[in-house]
Structure 1
Amino acid sequence: MSGGTVVSLPEGLLNGGAWFRVEATATASAARRSAERLAAELGLPDRRTADLAIVTAEAAGNLVKHADEGQLLVRAVRNAEQAGVEIIALDRGPGMADLAVSVGDGHSTAGTLGIGLGAIVRQASWCDLHSVPGKGTVLAAQVWPSEPPPPGWASGLTRPLTGEPVSGDAFAIRDAGGRRQLLMCDGLGHGGLAAAAAHEAVRVFGEAPPSDPAAVVELLHRRLSHTRGAALAVAELDEDAGLVRYAGLGNITGTVFGPTGSRRGMVSLPGIAGHQRRQVRQFDYPLEPAAVVVMHSDGVVDRWNPADYPGLLTHSPTVIAATVLRDAGVRRDDAGVLAARLP
């Protein structure tokens, strides 16, 4: 399956989109209507909006029929030329041992026609799917107005604390002067003020001149002084040098997962961007070909093991991030995950 790109913007991905806990047909219908409204706001053609409705209805319907703790996210995705809609479905259901069989029309475990996954693959501009028996399934699908963009090298998700309308966690992705950089940010506390600090961090990061991660973190520290403050980290993936350059303040976890199973944690120093810092230091870590960089806030526990998810690290950054959020995210805090792998 081909890939799509996700670009984090101050308005759009930062607010996390619309999350639905899908346990009944009524919620599945609400998710479909939300996707159609977003498509109208983004100006998708009627034909593509109809395709999106099918994708959303089938994804949500599968959650109702087969899933435990099914969740569905509807959000905008953008590149420089166009905007589309992305659907991400997460569940803790029985999982699928043979995806090729499950995606084929006519396969069903619930006495239905068995056309759901096949319809999603056909109608979506791009989709990716990972499933582990006993753990559940993660599905990501995008519908674009025209030809989808090339595969994205990074993607992330945020989810607010249960009961909060907005998340204080945020992420951003940029290619600035040839520097591929990531920002993971956790606004101090919860609610609107935490979200405001995160919005400001994303805005400053997007406007910052090309520079090393340490210099970008220094700039963020200075520019967040009028906000509540945040824990944040910036990573730069340098394919030519075979390095990840990393600088952080506060409780952001960064890890490099090698293609052969190695795992290397990256160091963030104590502090609160905008208010308290002793120093900002940059650390360099080896970046093997096909390695995956994962960053997350303290709303995600650092105890998941890629070995428990065969093949996961070869999937899209969206599916990697969504899987980590599903299984390691906690409900008593905002949660945010960002994953990246260079092509």
Structure 2
Amino acid sequence: MSGGAVASLPEGLLDGGVWFRVEAAPTASAVRRTAERLAVELGLPEPRVAHLSIVAAELAGNLVKHATEGVLLVRAVRTAEQAGVELVAIDRGPGMADLVASVGDGHSTAGTLGIGLGAIVRQSSWYDLHSVPGKGTILAAQVWPAEPPKPAWVAGLTRPLTGEPVSGDAFSVRDVEGRRQVMMCDGLGHGGLAAAASHEAVRAFQEAPAVPPAAVLDRLHRRMSHTRGAAVAVAELDADAGLVRYAGLGNIAGTVISSDGSRRGMVSLPGIAGHQRRQIREYDYPITPDAVVLMHSDGVVDRWNPSDYPGLLIRSPLVIAATVLRDAGVRRDDAGVLVARLP
């Protein structure tokens, strides 16, 4: 995570994003400048850059003033037609009991993100918010150059090990010939070589033909033989069949979480994609429209309990993923979370 200004954004950081630990006013200014720079590089028109600047300033400023352990992610978001900027603010503050009142202009509660939420709502193309008293607040916002796309059915977040500039965890999403598939990857170790292994998994996943998850995973295994290897899992959400088809190698955890908070784990077999595999098998699991699929690396522990977060499972996949990353991610490892629901 960064605590200072970012003078430029290397191409590789546009979609991976930049994390900030927001504890002081200079860092809040750096967040705003980074968001503006990214917007310009993505070609957002000047009025939308100005709107983004307000959103970034309010989010970061409120973390400085009111949050505990506040962090903020700035990254690009894309569709086939356009690119925008996404901001995800995460804190462990006291939280907000009344979100409707907090969004109203002029509302302020010490220790919350209450100040400025009205401006964030007005200037954003899309936003989502969840807060639990005693646990903290997640606020995600996007600014697009034109009409925003439909809310995403899937979202993921990765965070590097403390002190590392890049994460060895990665995720990817694709919709090919009607197959809606997601991939979560944890490159062995940390740093650049782990990131290289995960980046190769992402490339191979995006280039794979429209085949079931087990066949996709086999292709990834063969493509990653020149890397140090990774734990990888691929899931396919089939709305017509009401199924999740899942294949995994290594310690990627996959879970189907029902609307009542009950969980069903999905099976990943022992192995290292790129180096060791005894077999690749695919398993089917039932899923309902109100359930979510959660996938994460071993940098996220399983102590997270959905019942401790009233109303969370109806929020966006991005807010769910951010909550899990905050409360179940560990600092001694790269951490990656992906959340999807039937589109």
What range is the shorter-chain TM-score in? over 0.9
* 1:194-223 Cα deviation digits (max 9, x unpaired): 001111100110010011100000000000
SS at match of 2:247: strand
Q: CA deviation at 1:92?
A: 0.2
Alignment match, 2:6: none
Query: 1:46 is aligned with what amino acid?
Result: E
TM-score in terms of structure 2 length: 0.95
Alignment match, 2:232: 232
CA distance in 2, matches of 1:14, 1:258: 30
CA contact (8 A) 1:301 1:328 kept: yes
CA distance in 2, matches of 1:133, 1:201: 39
CA distance in 2, matches of 1:118, 1:128: 13
CA distance in 2, matches of 1:83, 1:342: 24
SS at match of 1:118: helix
CA contact (8 A) 1:14 1:171 kept: no
Query: 2:291 is aligned with what amino acid?
Result: A
CA contact (8 A) 2:213 2:236 kept: yes
CA contact (8 A) 2:67 2:92 kept: yes
Query: 1:265 is aligned with what amino acid?
Result: G
Alignment match, 1:177: 177
Q: Which has the higher contact order (CA 8 A, sep 6+)?
A: 1
TM-score in terms of structure 1 length: 0.95
CA distance in 1, matches of 2:327, 2:138: 11
Alignment match, 1:3: none
**Structure 1: gaps spanning 5 or more residues:** 1-9
CA contact (8 A) 2:246 2:282 kept: yes
How is 1:141-152 mapped onto 2 (pairs within 5 angstroms)?
A: 141-152=141-152
Q: CA deviation at 1:139?
A: 0.4
Identity across the alignment (%) = 79
Q: CA deviation at 1:261?
A: 2.5
Alignment match, 1:56: 56
CA contact (8 A) 2:66 2:111 kept: no
Alignment match, 2:245: 245
Q: CA deviation at 1:245?
A: 0.4
Q: CA deviation at 1:111?
A: 11
Query: 1:84 is aligned with what amino acid?
Result: G
CA contact (8 A) 1:14 1:158 kept: no
Alignment match, 1:317: 317
How is 1:244-283 mapped onto 2 (pairs within 5 angstroms)?
A: 244-283=244-283
- For this pair of structures, how many residues does the alignment match? 333
**Structure 2: gaps spanning 5 or more residues:** 1-10
CA distance in 2, matches of 1:138, 1:213: 32
CA distance in 1, matches of 2:342, 2:278: 32
Q: CA deviation at 1:11?
A: 4.9
CA distance in 2, matches of 1:106, 1:96: 15
CA distance in 2, matches of 1:155, 1:193: 24
Q: CA deviation at 1:176?
A: 1.0
Note the aligned Cα RMSD (angstroms). 1.6
* 1:45-82 Cα deviation digits (max 9, x unpaired): 11000100100110011111111100000000000000
Alignment match, 1:78: 78
CA distance in 2, matches of 1:309, 1:260: 11
CA distance in 2, matches of 1:28, 1:110: 19
CA distance in 2, matches of 1:157, 1:125: 20
Alignment match, 2:8: none
CA contact (8 A) 1:126 1:141 kept: yes
Q: CA deviation at 1:109?
A: 2.2
How is 1:299-338 mapped onto 2 (pairs within 5 angstroms)?
A: 299-338=299-338
* 1:228-270 Cα deviation digits (max 9, x unpaired): 1100000001111111000000000000001122210000000
Q: CA deviation at 1:289?
A: 1.7
How is 1:68-107 mapped onto 2 (pairs within 5 angstroms)?
A: 68-107=68-107
Query: 2:90 is aligned with what amino acid?
Result: L
* 1:88-136 Cα deviation digits (max 9, x unpaired): 0000001000000000001012499x65100000000000000000000
CA distance in 2, matches of 1:30, 1:37: 10
Alignment match, 1:137: 137
Query: 1:228 is aligned with what amino acid?
Result: R
Alignment match, 1:4: none
CA distance in 2, matches of 1:218, 1:117: 47
CA contact (8 A) 2:138 2:319 kept: yes
Alignment match, 1:205: 205
CA contact (8 A) 1:184 1:234 kept: yes
